[in-house]
């Protein structure tokens, strides 16, 4: 069974600080996605990484896919209160099934205080 472990589970920081959230697995994934979810809403897709070692930037957010495609990180520079939310990583497995199902981590709940 492929699993994704996210750390930390909770993160509370002040506006302007930097932070990194991690998503780790012992399994290889053919792609990995990061979503952000606000209370009472569905996850919103932020980015997809496909190639080992790939780095993508979205304004103040930097996403990296590990060389072995088993892990990923999300780095936020100069966090703002609007960044508050639940950050989820999700992977598309390489083994078996229809490959239509995404495997989700439990998420990192980020709170940015003004």
Partner 1 sequence: NAGVMQNPRHLVRRRGQEARLRCSPMKGHSHVYWYRQLPEEGLKFMVYLQKENIIDESGMPKERFSAEFPKEGPSILRIQQVVRGDSAAYFCASSPLPQAHYEQYFGPGTRLTVT
Binding site for partner 1 (CB under 8 A): 30-31, 33, 35, 40-45, 48, 50, 88, 90, 92, 97-107
CB of 100 to partner 1, least distance (A): 4
**In this complex, which beta carbon is closest to partner 1, that of residue 70 or of residue 79?**
70
| Contact residues for 65 (Cβ-Cβ < 8 A; gap 6+) | 32, 49, 50, 51, 52, 53, 54, 55, 71, 72
Write out the two tokens for 107. Answer: 């998420």
**In this complex, which beta carbon is closest to partner 1, that of residue 40 or of residue 114?**
40
**In this complex, which beta carbon is closest to partner 1, that of residue 85 or of residue 107?**
107
CB of 13 to partner 1, least distance (A): 22
**In this complex, which beta carbon is closest to partner 1, that of residue 49 or of residue 79?**
49
CB of 18 to partner 1, least distance (A): 25
Distance, in Å, from the CA atom of 95 to the CA atom of 80, rounded to the nearest integer, reads 38
Find, among 2, 58, 8, 59, the residue nearest to 34 by Cα: 58
CB of 71 to partner 1, least distance (A): 16
Query: What's the sign of the alpha-carbon dihedral 90, 110, 54, 28?
Result: negative
């Amino acid at each position: 069974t492929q699993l994704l472990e996210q750390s930390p589970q909770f993160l509370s920081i002040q506006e302007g600080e930097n932070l990194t959230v991690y998503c780790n697995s012992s399994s290889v994934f053919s792609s990995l996605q990061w979503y952000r979810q606000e209370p009472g809403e569905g996850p919103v897709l932020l980015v997809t990484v496909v190639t080992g070692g790939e780095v993508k930037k979205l304004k103040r957010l930097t996403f990296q896919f590990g060389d072995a495609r088993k892990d990923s990180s999300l780095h936020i520079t100069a966090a703002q209160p609007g960044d508050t939310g639940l950050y989820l990583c999700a992977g598309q497995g390489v083994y078996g099934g229809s490959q239509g199902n995404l495997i989700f981590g439990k998420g990192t709940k980020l709170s940015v205080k003004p």
